[in-house]
């Protein structure tokens, strides 16, 4: 089955700097790659997603890149703000089958 790895597990950046989180997946059938932000004790919220027919997608300060050949995708957050502090999960999905990465705890230091 699908296996999703995510790095780093923790990341601390200064406010205003960029943050990059990387994920790899194993199943070439996966064709949908969402990223979720989860604040403590709350539900995961979709922040951006990308499909396998696209290499890059951007939404304001957030961007995601996908390399299908290498089976990896990355989340890029620019001009980080303290409210970006949370746990971020990547996922690889095929149909309704979602497999989540282990998560990255991002801390943005003021």
Residues that bind other proteins (CB under 8 A): 32, 34, 41-46, 49, 89, 91, 93, 95-96, 98-103, 105
In angstroms, the CA 78 to CA 75 distance is 10
| Residue among 15 and 39 whose Cβ is closer to other proteins | 39
| Residue among 19 and 44 whose Cβ is closer to other proteins | 44
SS3 readout for the chain? CCCEEEECCEEEEECCCCEEEEEEECCCCCCEEEEEEECCCCCCEEEEEEECCCCEEEECCEEEEEECCCCEEEEEECCCCHHHCEEEEEEEEECCEEEECCCEEEEEEC
For the bound state, the minimum distance from the C-beta of residue 67 to other proteins, rounded and expressed in Å, comes to 20
For the bound state, the minimum distance from the C-beta of residue 5 to other proteins, rounded and expressed in Å, comes to 11
| Residue among 72 and 98 whose Cβ is closer to other proteins | 98
| Residue among 39 and 56 whose Cβ is closer to other proteins | 39
For the bound state, the minimum distance from the C-beta of residue 80 to other proteins, rounded and expressed in Å, comes to 21
């Amino acid at each position: 089955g699908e296996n999703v790895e995510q790095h780093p597990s923790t990341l601390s950046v200064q406010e205003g700097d960029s943050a990059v989180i990387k994920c790899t997946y194993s199943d070439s059938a996966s064709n949908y790659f969402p990223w979720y932000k989860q604040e403590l004790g709350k539900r995961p919220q979709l922040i951006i997603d990308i499909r396998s027919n696209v290499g890059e997608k951007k939404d304001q300060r957030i961007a995601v890149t996908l390399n299908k050949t290498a089976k990896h995708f990355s989340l890029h957050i620019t001009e980080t703000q303290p409210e970006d502090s949370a746990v971020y999960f990547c996922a690889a999905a095929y149909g309704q089958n979602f497999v989540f990465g282990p998560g990255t705890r991002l801390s943005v230091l003021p």
